[in-house]
Structure 1
Amino acid sequence: MEKSANGEKMLPADYDKLDYEEIKDRLCITLHSKEQRIEQLKGNLSMDIEGTDLTAAIRIFTGKKDNENGYFGIEPRYLETWGKTLEEVYQQALQNMPRLFPLRIMEMDEMIGRLIFGLDDVEQDSESLEIEFEPYKMYVLSNDTKTDGAAAILYPGLLEKLASNMQSNIFILPSSEHETLLTKDTGEISARDWQSVVIQANQQLFSQDILSDEVYCYDYQEHMLKMVTDPEQTKELRAQLQQMCCCVDATGANTQEYEEEDYGEEQ
């Protein structure tokens, strides 16, 4: 097993001799923040997602075990070996995704209920999917293993179909690298408002699971995915929320100390 300098499992050297046709049906992608994962993805074949701060790492799927997905990373030099362009390999990986990692999308309350009662997910087909978002409700989008499921937002035609069904834009909140939250853009809640939710939720995650602090939107009229928050303003908002959090923590500590003093006097 070969590994890159950052520990990424890479395609073994003898795969130079492997025909592209033999591995093309196992090509897949995982979705990451370009900035946060820059070191880990260094030397790995990847495609930046236009108009966002995200990048799709292109990998070879090796199998599933205990709801974990196995991959080999691919070095860019294999493009020359296979006689393929980055775009060709990326598009092949995208086409494979719904088959390798069937999507799962459900309203958040339903998902929580299924978790509580131990119910299995309902199998869904991205091509025949019929779902229309109710205003103000959140829908969880992932895959069948709930691992690396954020990549489902790139499944061919999925966001376009969902947005077309409701004739509305869709806000996409990056819950983690494993899932995203989708909600109908009613025009009443701004991207900035949703971003506060995203940043505060990310503060509860392990750093390796964070996808982004930005908010995205699928525009059903322009037929495109785009980032609708500004990275510079994101830094300011993140600092404001962290300061508020520190103030709350300090207030809580002072309150606890005061209560302990009162309790001591009563004793």
Structure 2
Amino acid sequence: MLDKFYEVNDFTAFNKQVKHRLEKSMGDEYDILLHTVTKNNGGRSEGIIIRKKDGYFAHNLYLEGLYKKYIKGMPMEDAVKELEKAYYEAFSNKAENTIDLNSYEQIKDNIFYRIVNYERNKEILSEIPYLPFLDLAVTFHCLVQNKSENLSSIHITYRHLIMWGINVKTVTEQAMENTPRIFPAKINTLEEVIGEIAFETAFPGFQPMYVITNAIGINGAGCLLYKGVIKQVAEIAGGDFYILPSSIHEIIAIKDSGFINKEELASMVKEVNTSQVAEEDYLSDSVYYYCIEEKRIIKIQ
């Protein structure tokens, strides 16, 4: 009874038990490895990697969701079967979904970028190539699966660059070319996104606000760097505009009417980040500004 209580209420013990049972059920043909994944803004997620010893295919499965099912009553054997099923399904689809990461020619069209907060990602930025941008960082990734039900990618590290025989300039150029194609930009008014009544209630007296993201709404803040997007927003807004980092998924543009209080904007950004944005989705507390005449984005708050 005490063993059961400890097992149910201890995530680390659960992970070890899952690993042990997978090793037993799948046999010596497979390597089973527990590992910790560093996520955006320093978050951590526990996963398990299953890899057949005589092949290069490996599949990572996160364990937090499965543990929640377990403590709600899912039997341990069912949890293990769920992991096995997920692995075999991924393995059966590998010919369609898996690319050879050893070949730059095979992966170069799948390279894309994201923008993240610099300060909160210092640890992982020490291990990967990136470009500084204001108080943000542009990071590079390789898309390994792009389906509506499953979007999978990996960070591009310095080891990848060495293996492919390329430098940061090359990966930057490739990412800048690919990202708008893989994840096309999408611009809507905030009223269109949340509804006119909700907009008037939340932002009484504000100028029109424009939401800039990509077609799938995931990591869409990177559209800020798409060639032509900022110019398009300036044309729609009809002049210079403020940029609010809503999250890593989208940014908001507000035309500079000449009457907007910068301090109020900064306060609003911080309040929204604190009360409504998940830690892993946080981008910045800063307020940015685009000047048509200077053709550049600056950080003002």
**TM tier relative to shorter chain:** 0.5 to 0.7
Q: 1:192 aligns with which of 256, 260, 263?
A: 263
TM-score normalised to structure 2 length? 0.60
1:29 equivalent in structure 2? 113
Matched, 1:112 2:204: no
2:144 equivalent in structure 1? 62
- Asked which structure has the greater RCO (Cα within 8 Å, sep 6+), the reply is 1
Indicate the SS of the match to 1:156: coil
Q: Sequence identity, in percent?
A: 30
Q: How many residue pairs end up in the alignment?
A: 206
Q: Is the 8 A contact 1:45 1:73 kept in 2?
A: no
Indicate the SS of the match to 1:203: helix
Q: Which amino acid aligns with 1:163?
A: A
**Matches of 2:194 and 2:149, distance apart in 1:** 18
Q: After the TM superposition, which residues 104-253 of structure 1 pair with which residues of structure 2 at under 5 Å, given as runs?
A: 104-113=186-195, 136-164=207-235, 168-204=239-275, 205-229=277-301
Deviations 1:135-187 (A, max 9, x none): 81111111122111111111112102332565522211001111111111122
1:130 equivalent in structure 2? none
2:66 equivalent in structure 1? none
Indicate the SS of the match to 1:226: strand
Indicate the SS of the match to 1:189: coil
Q: Is the 8 A contact 1:146 1:178 kept in 2?
A: yes
Indicate how the Cα distance of structure 1 residues 99 and 149 shifts in structure 2: closer, same or farther if over 3 A, else same: same
**Matches of 2:135 and 2:257, distance apart in 1:** 24
Q: Which amino acid aligns with 1:183?
A: I
1:89 deviation in Å?
1.1
Matched, 1:92 2:174: yes
Indicate the SS of the match to 1:23: helix
2:122 equivalent in structure 1? 38
Matched, 1:76 2:158: yes
Deviations 1:80-136 (A, max 9, x none): 33333312211210111111111111001111249x9xxxxxxxxxxxxxxxxxx81
**Matches of 1:175 and 1:28, distance apart in 2:** 21
Deviations 1:190-230 (A, max 9, x none): 3322111100100112211110000111221111122111x
The farther-off stretch of 32-41 and 145-154 is 32-41
1:18 equivalent in structure 2? 102
Indicate how the Cα distance of structure 1 residues 87 and 187 shifts in structure 2: closer, same or farther if over 3 A, else same: farther
Q: Is the 8 A contact 1:103 1:152 kept in 2?
A: yes
Indicate the SS of the match to 2:120: coil
**Matches of 1:178 and 1:2, distance apart in 2:** 31
Indicate the SS of the match to 1:141: strand
Q: Which has the higher helix share?
A: 2
**Matches of 1:38 and 1:13, distance apart in 2:** 30
Unaligned runs of 5+ in 2: 1-31, 40-46, 48-55, 59-98, 199-205
1:27 deviation in Å?
0.6
**Matches of 1:144 and 1:2, distance apart in 2:** 35
1:62 deviation in Å?
1.9
Of the two, which has the highest radius of gyration? 2
Indicate the SS of the match to 1:38: helix
Deviations 1:51-99 (A, max 9, x none): x100011000123344663211111133333333312211210111111
**Matches of 1:24 and 1:2, distance apart in 2:** 29
